[in-house]
Structures are given as C-alpha cells and as structure tokens.
Amino acid sequence: MKPVYIGEDAELQRGHLAAACRDLYRRGWMPGTSGNISVRSGETVVITASGRSKGAMSRKDTVMVEPFEGLPLLGETEWPSAETSIHLALYQQLPNCGAVIHAHAPHSTAVAALTGTNGSIGQVVFENMELAKGLGSVDPHLVAVPVFANWSDVSRIASDVTAYLDGSAADAPPVLLIDRHGVTAWGHNIDEARNRLECVEEMSRLTLLTGAFGAGVAKETAR
C-alpha cells in the first residue's frame, strides 16, 4: 500500500466524528447501526467502523482508510462502513469536501422512497423554499437534489455518484438522496455537512406536511 499523509488532527477528528454520530442517533436519524460519517485528514479519510451502534460511538469505533480503495491503514483494527466507497467518490470529485454524513433522516428517506426511478438517476426539485439558502445554492428558489438507485452493490452507487458529479459538480447541491436509503450531505467540515443535512431534511418534512409533490416538488429524471 502506498504511504499516505495523515493529518495532525486525525485523533481529534475521531472524537468529533463519534460525537456527531451520537447526536444524530439521539435525533432518530441514525437508528441502531445505520448511518455513517467521515472526515478528511491529510490524504486519509477517517470513517465510522462497520456495524457499530451510533448511540454508543467512541473514537475507538472509527477507522482510518487510504483515499482510493478504502482499505484500513496499517495498525487499524476495525473494518470501515460498507458505504465507504460513496464517501471516497465524493472526496475524489470534490477537492473542497472535508466531511460527509450519511443518515436515515426519516423525511428525507421518505421523499427518496417516493421519488426513486427504478434504476436511473432521478431528481427531487424543491421550489420556493427559504431553507434552500442553507445549501448555498446559486438559485435557492429552485434546488434539484439527485435521487440515486439503491443498488445492493454499494460500489455501483459510488460509480453513479462519480458519473453524476463528472457532469454537474459545479452546479450540484451538496446533498443527495438514495432511493429507500436516506440522505447524504457534505461540506468543509462536520458542522457544515450537518447544517446541510438539516436543511434538506426540513425541506422534505415541509414537503410531506403540505402535500407539495407536483407543486413545490417535482419528480423527474436527471439529465
């Protein structure tokens, strides 16, 4: 394995990551062992270990991986989350991405289930929602969030994400949905990624409360 640079903040990041997981667990967004968080540290990525209760997360339940294949670095004793390949796809495509959160926030997950397109990449278009400003959108009144197919082979989802960002990274919002599988958000750090996650979850909640499908929200195939 090629040596990679480990950031000086790696151990501190482990603690921040674990605390963020516990917080999202208490909110009901990472029930049981579901969900995962990662942060970039130098050339490496620190991510939640596979199969760990998010309500009892500690820094020992994290693993440092190399940035391309997602294999644990020498000396690590845990195995990374099954969705590591999606996190790495985002880091590879987005140089300014410093943290990624994948959660099973209930309203976003429901919207993803209602708008999945059976294999192709779909979109949920949120219109005229003030909260969209929290995503840093060029046009906060019209935000198109992609909805990816929930392939059992997670690397296939990662490939879809890579292909999508290859064509739209400059304009893509910092969030994505996976059919029947939740929401992923990213940012410069965990706080920014969590803020964006909260924005898309609340937009999804308001959409479901108001019955805005067909009005403020449209389901369509991504171009």
Q: Which fold has domain 1-82?
A: L-fuculose-1-phosphate Aldolase (3.40.225)
Q: For 9-46, how does the pLDDT look when each residue is reduced to its tens digit (9 = 90+)?
A: 888 899 999 999 999 999 999 999 999 999 999 889 99
Phi, psi of 152, rounded to the nearest 5 degrees: -65, -30
What residues have CB less than 8 Å from 191, skipping those under 6 apart?
none
Cα(142)–Cα(93) distance, rounded to whole angstroms?
23
Cα(129)–Cα(124) distance, rounded to whole angstroms?
13
Cα(32)–Cα(182) distance, rounded to whole angstroms?
14
Those residues of the chain that have pLDDT short of 70 are: 1-3, 5, 137-138, 140, 168-170, 212-223
Q: Does domain 105-223 have CATH number 3.20.20.70?
A: no
Q: Record the pTM.
A: 0.92
Q: For 51-69, how does the pLDDT look when each residue is reduced to its tens digit (9 = 90+)?
A: 999 999 999 999 999 988 8
Question: What stretch(es) of the chain map to CATH 3.40.225.10?
Answer: 1-82, 105-223
